[in-house]
Amino acid sequence: MLNVLTGFVEELREAGIPVSMVETIDAAEALRHVDLGDRAALRASLGATLVKNARHFEAFEVAFEVYFGLRPRHADDPEAAEAARTADAALVGAAGGGGSGGELDDDSLADALFRALADQDDALLQAVVRRAVEQLAGMEPGRPVGGTYYLYRVLRRLDVDGMLDRLLAELTAERALSPLEERLLREEIELRLERFRDELRSEIRRRLVSDRGPAAVARTLRRPLVEDADLVHATRAELAEVERIVHPLARKLGTRLAQRRRQGRTGRLDVRRTIRRSLSSGGVPVDPRFRRPRPSKPELFVLADVSGSVATFARFTMQLVYAISHQFSRVRSFAFIDALDEVTDYFGAGADFEQALNRVSAEAAVVWLDGHSDYGNAFGQFSELYVEALTPRSTVLVTGDARSNYHDPNLPAFSSIAAAARSLFWLNPEASRYWDTGDSIMGAYAPYCDGVYEVRNLRQLAGFVEQVALPTHRRVRRPA
């Protein structure tokens, strides 16, 4: 068991989940108190000891399936094995064909699946899953493909996509449902189908593992963790996941920006601590203590390129703006393509993110001529209209790929923005090796920035947030 555990921990680390030595020991300790035949208990115990972050659970689940899912659930439990056999017999019986152990044709399997889903018969569903993978997936030993290929083969043969309507028709036939009930029912059937797909997936994985061993399968199944997902090419599901993580990060960013002003200043007299101190001098307050000043609220100006080339990233930046503006009152946000417009109000209190995003694209005047990014014009407008609002306490955050379609970079405007603000950071969603190639003019702007950061995934964003706190960024700036 220990060997399996160390292999498993190794795999978790490979997948990017940090697992420390102490946690591995805890897991080993926990195994002593767990019924090893009970997969759910085993999973819960390993999860609680090894994974300390909710968003790592998905990767954990996959690895767990691969390492501990090999033995079918009923391997040690004669009762469960018997139940599985009965279910299989029932399946064959219901299909009305062949002897026990004989092959079933696609239609009767599909019918059995239909019954299992309609009656929520778990044992029958399991039997269908086993049969379906055995007969329909056409798995070839030794072939180095992932599970997805087999999964789609099974799904297509069983016509799972058509199943939803069939089930809905069957379940609504008996009595008329109100539209609300119908909607609920439809969603629930979708969930049941999703469960069926999950079961298929794990059955396929189980067979892959018994063919090729856990380490090899785990390698093909490894996906980047959410914090490593590329923000420019992120899928919708990944973006949704990213959005959940942005809030804590935004909060941290705000705190970091505020914290920098905390050091070295004193505030009001702290009576309690002064008297406490005075005890050592016989009650004479020779050493007055002061309260720390409250951290001042950071002033943040976000300038986001929302043009098509960075559309996905822009969505993410807007998410960041949205998150920040919910936690801090003094955030002003601006969107631009070849013209710049203030969008702060769209993200105000009580705003809905999707709505705000729609308003940015529908109402904000971000297009001036042709709808291709023009950083120079955007900065020109900003320095003309809003530069007065910048104070030595404000931080400016520009996000975009600095691809300005060969327009004039308008460096004087940019340097005046940089001079007016306390600090200016640029977050670029492009890999740094592509900077200054083609129409990218990152290099032209970089000297005026306090920092230019490649932010292609959340890990890099977190890195930026950490960096912002470093005192090296406190520097005196004079207008150029």
Partner 1 sequence: MGAAGPGEVAAALQAVGYLPDARIAQVVFLAERLDKPVLVEGPAGVGKTELAKALAEVHGRRLIRLQCYEGLDETKALYEWNYRKQLLRLQADQGREWADLEHDIFTEEFLLSRPLLEAIRSPEPAVLLVDEVDRVEVETEALLLEVLADFQITIPELGTIAATTRPLVVLTSNNTRELSEALKRRCLFLHIGYPSVEREREILLTRVPDLPETLAEQAARLVRSVRSLPLRKPPSVSESIDWARTLLALGVAEVDEGVAIDTLHVLLKYQADIEKVAKELETAAAG
| Window 325-354: contact mask with partner 1 (x via CB under 8 A) | -------------------------xxxxx
- Residue 188 binds to partner 1 (criterion: CB under 8 A): yes
- Tell the smallest beta-carbon distance from residue 479 to partner 1 (Å): 36
Question: What are the φ/ψ torsions at residue 420 (nearest 5 degrees)?
Answer: -75, -25
The nearest distance, CB 311 to partner 1, in angstroms, is 19
Least distance CB 476 / partner 1 (angstroms): 29
Convert 273-342 into a string of H (helix), E (strand) and C (coil). Answer: HHHHHHHHHCCCCCCCCECCCCCCCCEEEEEEECCHHHHHHHHHHHHHHHHHHHHCCCEEEEEECCCEEE
Least Å distance, CB 16 to partner 1, is 15
State which of positions 407-436 bind partner 1 (CB under 8 A): none
**Is the CB of residue 332 less than 8 Å from the CB of residue 346?**
no
Helical pair 311-327 and 353-362, crossing angle rounded to 10 deg = 120
Q: Which single residue is written with the structure tokens 């102490």?
A: 22
- C-alpha 416/C-alpha 445 separation (Å) is 12
Residue 169 engages partner 1 in binding (rule: CB under 8 A): no
Query: Which one, 323 or 452, has the nearer CB to partner 1?
Result: 323
Span 7-66, contacts to partner 1 by CB under 8 A: 18, 20, 22-23, 26, 29-30, 33-35, 40-41, 44-45, 47-49, 51-54, 57
Closest by CA to 326, choosing from 387, 446, 246, is 246
471 binds partner 1 (CB under 8 A): no
Q: Which of 187, 198, 345, 466 binds partner 1 (CB under 8 A)?
A: 187
State the Cα–Cα distance between residues 224 and 226, nearest whole angstrom.
6
Strands (E), 98-138: none
Q: Which token pair is 151?
A: 């999964």
Helix or strand run (H / E) with residue 396 = strand 394-399
Q: Which of 74, 197, 247, 330 binds partner 1 (CB under 8 A)?
A: 247
Structure tokens that stand for 166 in this block: 């069939």
- Would you tell me how many other CB atoms lie within 10 Å of the CB of residue 25? 11
**Contact status: 202 vs partner 1 (CB under 8 A):** no
Q: Is residue 187 within 8 Å of 113, Cβ to Cβ? A: no
Between β-strands 340-342 and 331-336, what pairing exists: parallel, antiparallel or unpaired? antiparallel
Q: How far apart are CA 464 and CA 227, in angstroms?
A: 13
Minimum CB distance to partner 1, residue 230 (Å): 21
Work out whether 233 is an interface residue with partner 1 (CB under 8 A): no
Decide whether 29 or 77 has the Cβ nearer to partner 1: 29
Per-residue binding letters, 267-306, with partner 1 (x by CB under 8 A): -----x--xx--x--xx-----------------------
Shortest reach from residue 409's CB to partner 1, in Å:
37
CB of 217 to partner 1, least distance (A): 25
CB of 173 to partner 1, least distance (A): 19
Min separation Cβ 293 and partner 1, Å: 13
φ/ψ of 411, rounded to 5, equals: -60, -35
**Least separation in angstroms between CB 169 and partner 1:** 17
- Site for partner 1 contains 193 (CB under 8 A): no
DSSP-derived pairing of the beta strands 299-305 and 394-399: parallel
Choice between 46 and 104, CB closer to partner 1: 46
Binding status of residue 164 toward partner 1 by CB under 8 A: no
Q: Which residues bind partner 1 (CB under 8 A)?
A: 18, 20, 22-23, 26, 29-30, 33-35, 40-41, 44-45, 47-49, 51-54, 57, 178-180, 182-184, 187-188, 240, 247-248, 251-252, 272, 275-276, 279, 282-283, 350-355
